[in-house]
Structure 1
Amino acid sequence: MAGPINFTDLQVFRSVVEEGGIVKAARKLHRVPSNVSKRIKQLESSMGVTLFHRDRQRLHLSPTGELLRGYADRLVQLSEEARAAVSGANPRGLLKLGALESTAASRLPGLLAAFHRQYPDVRLELTMGTNDFLVQAVVDRRLDAAFIAEPPARILAHMPVFRERLALISSPDHPPIKRPQDIKSASLIAFPDGCAYRRVLQRWLGHDVFSTKRMLELGSYHAIIACVASGTGVALVPESVLDTMAQTSVRRHPLPKTLADMSTPLVWRDGEISPPVLALRTLVASFKKAARR
């Protein structure tokens, strides 16, 4: 029967994997090689598995060892984060942040600039994508946090950050759009499946009408708005994005308030907030407070 896992044994295991062998790991850990070998055997014994295949003087990770490696990395990282969080030290390391393209373009520049000034030891890596892509990336731990467009699944914690208002846009000479019938012959221009704003457009049109419309899928608001301005079709976009592209000539058509008003929440994995994510959440809260004054 497998016993409890010793955390020190996990740290030794991780070092052996990273250094590529017992001797190098022993040198890094300031231990004798026999002690490192003993620790690895204790870990294998406590778990009842083989973590390495031994070929003369070389060690090769077994499939079980590969699986444990991922858990060991996460546990050691969590231990380091916990120590940093409770010590009051400034956060450091990598923050993998996701955002909708609209949020990144119109809402984040000032916030990220302030974050960079206040937390210079955190390296920020920004990934853009659709709502559904970002949610799944946070769930899968490919991202630490993300700004999305819809209430998240229960596995994710969240806080509302920005208010968005959506508007239909058309070429300047298009007649007023007040109901779905007013765009009967027009093509739709939208992000691919997974976009929350695309789902709003589908709800407004109705599923049956939406499914019969000609669709041009693009991955950039600049491209979408340029195509709309040229008369290619109509699109649904946040007004905050339009405000950053005032030089582009399009006509705005309001949606019903129940569809037009949306919230942009910041999401992270519930119970797994890291010091960089906590720092971002604190900064976001201060920005919201300042905006209400």
Structure 2
Amino acid sequence: MGDPGERCGMDMGLLKVFLAVAEEGSISKAAQSLNYVQSNVTARIQQLEQELKTPLFYRHSRGITLTSAGQTFMEYTVRILKLLDEAKQAVLDSPVPKGSITVGSDTTAAVRLPAILSAYRVCYPDVEVHLQVGRAGELIDSVLQHTVHGAFLDGPVEHPEIVQELLIHERIGLVIPDTMDYQGIRSVHDKTLLMLNSECLYRSRLEKWLAEEGGRLGKVMEFGTMEGLLGCVKAGIGYAVLPLSYFTRMNVTEGIRIYPFPEKYAEVPTVFIRRRDLYMTSAFREFIEELKAGLPEAVSGADMTADTAAEL
């Protein structure tokens, strides 16, 4: 054991300096963002490396990059600073929701959120709500890294640090250009599938339906936006699989036709996830309640057993 009188110099300020340098990839840029003199930032990084007895950065002509030890330390630094922020939120939290929350969503689930966010803002005008739209993997990482409070995703997520707060059953449909002669699922055999996320459950449902009818999946093209995807469907470049709720809510039908999936393949679960250890501020708790009110088909994550999630 070390000397009990020995004092650790690793304070929150030092961690913030390290994180700024890691994110900027440059001592000078980090100094600018922190409003510090460059020599001070350099000295703090040297202090940290001496204390940890390992280099955290590679120095080169283009700037600096993290070593493997630095990458590991950065992951813990992000978690520590987010936990500190949560601790402050817990201390300052009040029964009346205030502050801010950040919610993630994939592009297809985002269609459900405007009405919910609008109703929530009317009830709690002192809460600032941010929406982050992204792919499933990115959103799961954001939840785990505390950069979003929770996120909508397709399908159950199996991770020891994540709980599924809500479950929504989306019904999906085949979206084809209105110029296509549709004679059943074999009509898209070997044609190009256009998707926002090629790894989502929509694709696996389609593959099962195709296999049942003796067809097979053709090429797959990914898109970053719903507008771009639908534009290419209308142009006859390919077809898509999307939730029916998007079309009923957005009233987008020009140039396309929509055919619901067979009942046994039609439902895809959308879950709302959060970290298991996340401190639930009053603002976030009320957001969850607004979700339950705005999504009548939603059920509590507590009702989802392991067997239920596996079946989905």
Give CA-to-partner distance per residue, 1:91-140, whole Å, 9 cap, x none.
313x2211011221x21111111222333333322111222332232123
Q: Does the aligned pair in 1 maintain the 2:174–2:242 contact within 8 Å?
A: yes
Alpha carbons of structure 1 residues 272 and 101: separation in structure 2 relative to 1, 3 Å: same
The AA in structure 1 aligned to 2:87 is: S
1:102-181 alignment, distance < 5 Å = 102-104=108-110, 106-155=111-160, 156-179=162-185, 181=186
1:71 Cα deviation from its structure 2 partner: 5.1
Q: What SS class does the counterpart of residue 231 from structure 1 fall into?
A: coil
Q: Does the aligned pair in 1 maintain the 2:167–2:298 contact within 8 Å?
A: no
Q: Does the aligned pair in 2 maintain the 1:177–1:253 contact within 8 Å?
A: no
1:215 Cα deviation from its structure 2 partner: 2.6
Partner of 1:266: 272
RMSD of aligned residue pairs (Cα, Å): 3.7
**What fraction of aligned residue pairs are identical, expressed as a percent?**
20
Q: Does the aligned pair in 1 maintain the 2:167–2:270 contact within 8 Å?
A: yes
Alpha carbons of structure 1 residues 72 and 186: separation in structure 2 relative to 1, 3 Å: closer
1:133-282 alignment, distance < 5 Å = 133-155=138-160, 156-179=162-185, 181-206=186-211, 213-243=218-248, 244-275=250-281, 276-282=283-289
Q: What SS class does the counterpart of residue 266 from structure 1 fall into?
A: strand
1:50-65 alignment, distance < 5 Å = 59-60=44-45, 61-63=47-49, 64=52
Q: Does the aligned pair in 1 maintain the 2:170–2:245 contact within 8 Å?
A: yes
Alpha carbons of structure 1 residues 225 and 71: separation in structure 2 relative to 1, 3 Å: closer
Q: Does the aligned pair in 1 maintain the 2:168–2:270 contact within 8 Å?
A: yes
Alpha carbons of structure 1 residues 122 and 253: separation in structure 2 relative to 1, 3 Å: same
Q: Normalising to structure 2: TM-score of the pair?
A: 0.66
Alpha carbons of structure 1 residues 146 and 290: separation in structure 2 relative to 1, 3 Å: closer
Q: Unaligned 5+ residue runs, structure 1?
A: 21-54
1:225 Cα deviation from its structure 2 partner: 1.8
The AA in structure 2 aligned to 1:231 is: G
CA distance in 2, matches of 1:109, 1:79: 30
Number of equivalences:
248
CA distance in 2, matches of 1:109, 1:239: 17
CA distance in 2, matches of 1:77, 1:234: 45
Q: Does the aligned pair in 2 maintain the 1:131–1:150 contact within 8 Å?
A: no
Partner of 1:285: 292
Alpha carbons of structure 1 residues 71 and 152: separation in structure 2 relative to 1, 3 Å: closer
Q: Does the aligned pair in 1 maintain the 2:155–2:270 contact within 8 Å?
A: yes
Alpha carbons of structure 1 residues 220 and 177: separation in structure 2 relative to 1, 3 Å: farther
Give CA-to-partner distance per residue, 1:205-231, whole Å, 9 cap, x none.
35x9756x1232212222222221222
CA distance in 2, matches of 1:157, 1:3: 42
CA distance in 2, matches of 1:194, 1:290: 25
The one of 78, 91, 107 equivalent to 1:83 is: 91
The AA in structure 2 aligned to 1:160 is: L
CA distance in 2, matches of 1:2, 1:100: 49
